[in-house]
Amino acid sequence: GTTLVEWIWGGFSVDKATLTRFFAFHFILPFIIAALTFVHLLFLHETGSNNPTGLNSDSDKIPFHPYYTIKDILGVIIMIMFLMTLVLFFPDLLGDPDNYTPANPLNTPPHIKPEWYF
């Protein structure tokens, strides 16, 4: 209990250690998942799959390279071009309209909400 909580979260309160661990886990975890997915697909293409009937899956294997690599690179290029078009020609399209309201230093902006414990 206590040892595990202190090791993972850095203590029972939210402080610098907790936020550092939270950021580290949430930053690195998607990269780990993406790498494991790539390794899984690579091994699936190279060695085939396993099934409970014991049938040989060599006839289902397809080569992984170069067609799929070129196709994936083309998809990434198209997505980057779409994103660049969106950012360069329509920069305010995905923005928040609250960013354009004039600042009023006499009151708190509506997007800033007090914490639940206040």
Q: Where are the domains of the chain?
A: 1-60, 63-91
Band (pLDDT 50/70/90 cuts) for residue 39 is very high
* Spatial contact of 93 and 86, defined as CB atoms under 8 Å apart: yes
Structure tokens that stand for 66 in this block: 């170069």
**Across the chain, what does the average pLDDT equal?**
82
User: Angle formed by the axes of helices 2-9 and 16-47, to 10°?
Assistant: 80
Q: What is the pLDDT of residues 45-75, one digit of tens each?
A: 777 777 777 778 777 777 766 677 788 899 9
pLDDT at 79 over 90: yes
The DSSP symbol for 45 reads H
* Spatial contact of 12 and 5, defined as CB atoms under 8 Å apart: yes
pLDDT at 81 over 80: yes
Distance CA 27, CA 82 (A): 25
pTM of the entire structure?
A: 0.43
Active site positions, annotated:
45, 49, 71-72, 115
State the pLDDT at residue 59.
Answer: 74
Distance CA 48, CA 64 (A): 12
